[in-house]
């Protein structure tokens, strides 16, 4: 009964023979295992490193997704690396052992698995070790990054400090050298209240064995790797994590995979507030509707802004159109993430965002434009400063047509950050000032030189 909808989708697979093991005494799936011949072939070619991600639905059932990982894997598309889906009857040692035994039965290459990457909350580690006796089980860099990111939001730190931690985390994950990890560890020790520090498990940053499995990637490769996994986990959460029915969740996921064989996800995924980071049940927007909304936004930009301002904003909109943007609604602000740093948008006029582009130019950035696109709205005159409106146009062409260099970009970024730090230090207590000054002193000493040479 529970497989009627699933079988209707599975038989349409481009490689018809599939592994399908299911035990059901009710319309709900008690257990479920799926692997197409293509997925089996991918695993047989890249079995050395196995990445396991878990997705929970509202009933507490969990979907295990196995993905191949490692230097040899050069597959395009987030779900292109998925090689196995499974829902165990129970998430205990017995249920997990049965699931892994089914996987091993149909995948002789399991004996070549050397490393298994899991999330920090993965409790049945002994079962994994028993079923894969020659493999090393490690926490994955991606899951540690998501864990720390969630903890930073829960700490409710002041916005500048939260931004510093998030930026440092992103930079370290893209270049996980021992020195960078040690600096992030020191930053956490200095910035996080001592009573809350144990919650972060910052000692993971000093476990070099974890990061050896990730360190081989270049900065660009690391960025693409995290972006790909971010999209993958959001897709899994949208289709399985928001549906109480396991069969409907899996049917939606398989339908998406059939409709996106190249797996180039380009739709909006709704997010709940950052505290839990769980997607909403929003469905993908149709391409025709998205094109209409984007055309209206372009028209409103051209009608309201000066020519140079519209050109800058249209460049930001182009990034939105080519990216996947994740939107979470709070009580007063919206959190917008275009697979990069998370930024906070203040939608009330004049609209503002915490990103560098909006802070530097005071123009609608890609995050504000993503908010307008999601709300089916267009730009209004009161959403940007008067000097940028067509009715109050000033001679800004010379500024915007000037040569833009990487040095200038760095200078503006540093200037903005310096102003924010200065404002923060002016309005904190003496004790807080001493603590934060000490942190800056350590950073200056480690980057530039000792106190005798560097005056803050």
Residues 88 and 10 both lie in one domain: yes
Residues 301 and 358 in one domain: yes
| 123 lies in the same domain as 21 | yes
The whole-angstrom separation of Cα 43 and Cα 103 is 11
Q: Which of 365, 390, 415 is the last residue of a domain?
A: 390
Provide the domain limits for residue 23: 1-146+217-264
SS3 86: strand
Statement to judge: residues 237 and 320 lie in one domain: no
- Is 329 within a domain? yes
CA angle 424, 158, 334 (to 5 degrees): 120
User: Do 238 and 345 have their domain in common?
Assistant: no
Q: What pLDDT shows up at residue 448?
A: 67
On whether both 374 and 246 belong to a single domain, the answer is: no
Q: Total structural domains in the chain?
A: 2
Closest CA to 247 of 399, 72, 412, 61: 61
Q: How would you write the pLDDT of the chain (456 residues) with one tens digit per residue?
A: 344 445 444 534 545 445 554 544 555 567 788 888 888 889 999 999 999 999 998 888 899 999 999 888 888 776 889 999 999 888 888 889 999 999 999 899 999 999 999 999 888 788 998 999 999 999 999 999 999 988 888 888 888 888 899 989 988 998 888 899 999 999 999 989 899 999 999 999 998 888 988 888 888 888 888 888 988 898 898 888 888 888 888 888 888 887 776 533 332 333 333 333 333 333 444 555 666 777 777 777 777 777 667 777 777 777 666 554 444 555 456 655 555 556 788 888 778 888 767 777 778 888 888 888 878 788 888 877 776 766 554 444 444 444 455 665 566 667 667 777 777 777 778 888 888 888 887 777 777 655 444 444
Q: 234 with 380, same domain? A: no
Question: Quick check: is 166 in a domain?
Answer: no
- Scan for tokens 């020790």, then name that residue: 189
Residues 256 and 385 in one domain: no
Pick the last residue of a domain from 390, 407, 426. Answer: 390
Tell me, yes or no, whether 44 and 110 share the same domain: yes
pLDDT of residue 11: 37
**What confidence score (pLDDT) does residue 118 get?**
94
319 shares a domain with 233: no
In a domain, 137, yes or no: yes
Residue 444 lies in a domain: no
Task: For 231-280, give the DSSP string.
Answer: HHHHHHIIIIIT-S-HHHHHHHHHHHHHH-TT----S-EEE--TTT--B-
Q: What is the pLDDT of residue 405?
A: 54
Determine, yes or no, domain membership for 81.
Answer: yes
Q: Tell which of 342, 357, 390 closes a domain.
A: 390
Same-domain pairing of 142 and 39: yes
- Nearest CA to 32 out of 122, 113, 102, 110 is that of 102
CB 436 within 8 A of CB 424: yes
What is the sign of the dihedral through the CA atoms of 296, 266, 61 and 26?
positive
Token pair, residue 105, equals: 């039965």
Is residue 206 a part of any domain in this protein?
no
Neighbour-count burial for 300-319, b at 16+ CB within 10 Å, e otherwise:
bbeebbbebbbebbeebbeb
Nearest-angstrom CA–CA distance, 77 and 219: 19
Q: Let me know if residue 188 belongs to a domain.
A: no
Same domain, 370 and 233: no
Is 191 part of a structural domain of the chain? no
Burial of 284 (0-12, 13-18, 19+ CB in 10 A): middle
Query: What is the pLDDT at residue 63?
Result: 93
Q: CA distances (Å), 314 to each of 299, 368, 382, in order?
A: 10, 12, 18
């Amino acid at each position: 009964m529970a497989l009627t909808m699933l079988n209707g989708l599975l038989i349409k697979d481009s490689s018809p023979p599939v592994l399908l093991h299911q035990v059901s005494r009710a319309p709900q799936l008690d257990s479920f295992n799926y692997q197409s011949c293509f997925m089996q072939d991918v695993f047989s070619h890249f079995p050395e490193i196995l990445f396991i991600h878990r997705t929970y639905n509202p009933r507490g059932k969990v979907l295990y997704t196995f993905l191949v990982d490692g230097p040899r894997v050069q597959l395009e598309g987030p779900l292109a690396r998925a090689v196995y889906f499974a829902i165990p009857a129970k998430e205990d040692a017995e249920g997990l052992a049965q699931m892994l035994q089914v996987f091993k039965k149909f995948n002789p290459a399991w004996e070549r698995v050397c490393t298994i990457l899991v999330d920090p909350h993965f409790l049945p580690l002994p079962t994994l070790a028993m079923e894969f006796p020659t493999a090393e089980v490690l926490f994955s860099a991606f899951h540690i990054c998501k864990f720390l990111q969630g903890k930073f939001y829960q700490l409710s730190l002041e916005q500048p400090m939260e931004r510093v931690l998030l930026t440092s985390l992103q930079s370290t994950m893209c270049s996980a050298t021992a020195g960078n990890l040690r600096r992030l560890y020191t930053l956490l020790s200095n910035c996080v209240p001592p009573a809350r520090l144990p919650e972060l498990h910052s000692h993971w940053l000093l476990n070099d064995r974890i990061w050896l499995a990730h360190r081989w990637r270049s900065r660009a490769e690391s960025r693409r790797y995290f972006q790909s996994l971010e999209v993958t986990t959001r897709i899994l959460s949208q289709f399985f994590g928001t549906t109480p029915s396991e069969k409907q969740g899996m049917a939606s996921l398989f339908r998406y995979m059939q409709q996106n064989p190249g797996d180039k996800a380009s739709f909006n995924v709704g997010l709940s507030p950052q505290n839990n980071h769980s997607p909403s049940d929003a469905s993908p927007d149709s391409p025709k509707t998205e094109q209409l909304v984007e055309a209206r936004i372009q028209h409103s930009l051209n009608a309201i802004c000066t020519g140079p301002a519209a050109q800058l904003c249209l460049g930001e909109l182009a990034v939105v159109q080519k990216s996947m943007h994740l939107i979470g609604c709070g009580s007063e602000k919206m959190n917008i993430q275009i697979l990069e740093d998370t930024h906070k948008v203040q939608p009330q006029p004049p609209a503002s965002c915490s990103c560098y582009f909006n802070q530097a130019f005071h123009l609608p950035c890609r995050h504000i434009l993503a908010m307008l696109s999601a709300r089916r709205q267009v730009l209004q005159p009161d959403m940007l400063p008067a000097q940028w409106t067509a009715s109050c146009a000033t001679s800004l062409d010379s500024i915007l047509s000037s040569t833009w260099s990487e040095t200038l970009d760095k200078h503006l970024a540093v200037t903005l950050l310096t102003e924010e730090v200065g404002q923060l230090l002016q309005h904190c207590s003496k004790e807080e000032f001493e603590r934060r000054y000490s942190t800056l002193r350590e950073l200056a000493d480690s980057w530039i030189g000792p106190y005798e040479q560097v005056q803050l």
